[in-house]
């Protein structure tokens, strides 16, 4: 047994050193391109995506809608543009700073939805279709409305977030009112995305093996990842058709949209600077949408950010109060 201790210690040290980030020079920069930053890489040569990142933002999900959690009005002129002007950004961020302290959201008196628009200046998280609007089929919009109307009558109509189960995919990767941090971990054959909200952990194999049997459906689906150059591509399928798109009120029309077992979600993670990962997700669900649609946004590094345990069930009276309020209204 005495011999095993140093051997185990050496193995642990080797594994740890194998995935210590290394900065290696990428291809020669093009004329005029920045030369003071190179993609940090693991010793295996892959881009290092590890760290704590956040997607908190006041950028609306869809173009032409109000600023989340304050109701701030987006200038009408921006409804037909893909980017905000400098003047619009300054006005909307100043407006948020004034209005946010007076806003009490959901069941909390504290919100942390961000106080700035995305660094990309885009007028909506949705970038495709080009109009920045999600192409929802009429039946799905009607189903969403029915589900939201029933939430005070039947706990089964409530989201899996309200029930402290999960926000699912893609909902768990979308910004909301608070707890918008993610910790990414990498090994040679696995990527883990740990979510601050409900402390979900997506354990994603880097593998070309087939997805699980199509009859096995899951809240967060079945994910596989691979590299396309310096971009990590994650494809997820096998979703439970009992779920929904789970967002906060900032999700607007997206909140509560149904999910079918035909849904396929493809994410792309690309390290673009020391403090940003460009994240893009395409949702393809022919049962619910007229066509696939895409959200893109940067994930921003948060040095020193501490992710604490998200204690959801403890003290959770959300369902009790929802249903009780519904009964009061019936009197």
Tell whether 102 is covered by a domain.
no
Query: 231 is in which domain, residue-wise?
Result: 126-325
Tell whether 168 is covered by a domain.
yes
Tell whether 23 is covered by a domain.
no
- In order along its 331 residues, the chain shows pLDDT tens digits of 434 333 334 333 333 433 434 333 333 444 444 558 999 999 899 999 999 999 999 999 999 888 887 777 888 888 889 999 999 999 999 988 877 665 555 455 567 888 899 999 999 999 999 999 999 999 999 999 988 888 777 777 777 887 888 888 998 999 988 889 999 999 999 999 999 988 889 999 999 999 999 999 999 999 999 999 999 999 999 999 988 888 887 888 898 899 999 999 999 999 999 999 999 999 999 999 999 999 999 999 988 888 888 888 777 777 787 778 778 877 7
Q: What is the pLDDT of residue 25?
A: 30
Q: What is the pLDDT of residue 104?
A: 53
Q: What is the pLDDT of residue 41?
A: 96
Tell whether 331 is covered by a domain.
no
Tell whether 79 is covered by a domain.
no
Q: What is the pTM of this model?
A: 0.84
Tell whether 227 is covered by a domain.
yes
Q: What is the pLDDT of residue 102?
A: 55
Tell whether 175 is covered by a domain.
yes
Q: Which of 132, 116, 119, 136 has its CA nearest to residue 67? A: 116
**Phi, psi dihedral angles at 253 (to 5 degrees):** -65, -20
Report how many domains make up the chain: 1
Tell whether 56 is covered by a domain.
no
Q: What is the pLDDT of residue 316?
A: 73
């Amino acid at each position: 047994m005495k011999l095993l201790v140093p051997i185990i210690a050496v193995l642990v040290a080797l594994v740890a050193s194998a995935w210590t980030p290394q900065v290696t020079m990428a291809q020669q920069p093009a004329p005029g391109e920045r030369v003071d930053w190179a993609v940090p890489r693991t010793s295996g040569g892959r881009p290092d995506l590890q760290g704590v990142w956040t997607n908190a933002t006041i950028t609306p999900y869809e173009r032409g809608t109000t600023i989340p959690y304050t109701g701030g009005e987006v200038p009408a002129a921006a409804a037909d543009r893909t980017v905000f002007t400098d003047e619009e950004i300054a006005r909307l961020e100043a407006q948020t700073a004034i209005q946010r302290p007076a806003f009490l959201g959901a069941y909390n008196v504290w919100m942390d939805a961000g106080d700035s628009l995305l660094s990309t200046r885009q007028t909506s998280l949705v970038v495709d279709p080009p109009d920045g609007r999600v192409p929802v089929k009429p039946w799905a919009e009607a189903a969403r409305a029915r589900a939201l109307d029933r939430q005070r009558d039947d706990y089964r109509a409530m989201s899996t977030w309200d029930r402290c189960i999960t926000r699912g995919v893609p909902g768990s990767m979308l910004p909301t009112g608070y707890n918008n941090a993610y910790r990414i971990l990498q090994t040679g054959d696995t990527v883990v995305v740990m979510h601050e909200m409900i402390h979900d952990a997506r354990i994603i194999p880097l593998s070309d093996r087939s997805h699980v049997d199509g009859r096995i459906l899951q809240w967060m689906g079945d994910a596989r990842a691979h590299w396309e150059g310096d971009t990590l591509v994650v494809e997820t399928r096998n979703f439970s058709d009992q779920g929904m798109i789970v967002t906060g009120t900032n999700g607007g029309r997206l909140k509560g949209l149904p999910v079918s077992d035909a849904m396929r979600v493809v994410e792309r993670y690309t390290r673009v600077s020391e403090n940003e990962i460009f994240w893009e997700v395409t949702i393809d669900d022919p049962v619910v949408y007229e066509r696939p649609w895409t959200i893109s946004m940067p994930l921003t590094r948060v040095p020193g950010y501490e992710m604490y345990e998200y204690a959801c069930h403890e003290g959770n009276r959300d369902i009790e109060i929802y249903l009780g309020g519904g009964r009061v209204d019936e009197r």
